[in-house]
Amino acid sequence: MEIKNFAICYNPEISHSVEVKEKLAALLADKNINAGILNIDDLKGGFDFVFVIGGDGTILKTARFYAKFQTPVFGINLGRLGFLSQSSKEDIEKSVDEILKGKFIVQDRIMLESGDYTALNDFVVKGCDMGRTSRFSLKINDKYVCDYLADGVIVSTPTGSTAYGLSAGGPVLTPSLKAFVIVPICPHTLTARPIVVPDCEKITVCTDVKNKYVLSADGQEFYEFDSEINIVKSRYSAKLALLEGAEFYSVLTDKLHWAMPPAYIK
């Protein structure tokens, strides 16, 4: 792909982000590239490739925004886990060189949609009264599936399967799968297990109309509702730029210490 216009998106609230932003801008300037500088709270279109400096939350917000422009985003991790990032601040120079040489791929990641909201990781439904469990009914394609007495329900993409859904006991899905995961949070029955469904299904979570509930998108956007919400595959997909040779299963080992004995975990 031909890249003419670069942007650098950073989160000024994250430690060292300004320093890394300036270093990245200088590296690009040395190669005669004048990149646009964007604050995470003031994103705009018109770019062919976006470097994102921050943690997974910063990358999620940026990827959602640029999905409608089909613009690839490349994460430089300054957070704790950095599961969505491809580079550390120490490896910026090497990463920039590879990207400018075209040694990267752009991977489509399916997203979720509910009304005006989209999510790259997950939608989470919880009762506004956090001190008590709630009853949820699950429908798929308008057909009743089951009831949950639980703290909440997570509807996750494959990208989000390594996030909240994993912590709640859900499976890990490879990013290329066209599927969603439905995971009850702390269900009050041992038979309530996660469900994996095709991404063409419409998922409906029904609630008790006597109470208020909140839907969160990637843990960043929230709105209250009652009765029910519908969740479907978004018409947009996020574009994540990955360096050549990046491999999902090695990321599980490197980031999550997947199946490693405790003695090997530092």
pLDDT (tens digit per residue) in 76-133: 988 666 678 778 778 899 999 999 999 999 999 999 999 999 999 999 999 887 777 8
For 73, phi then psi, to 5°, come to -120, 145
Q: Which of 30, 48, 56, 226 is an active site residue?
A: 56
- pTM of the predicted protein model: 0.91
* CA atoms of 77 and 75, how far apart (whole Å): 6
Mean pLDDT of the chain, nearest integer = 90
56 noted as active-site residue: yes
- Domains of the chain listed by start with CATH number: 6-102 (3.40.50.10330), 113-235 (2.60.200.30)
Length of the chain as a residue count: 266
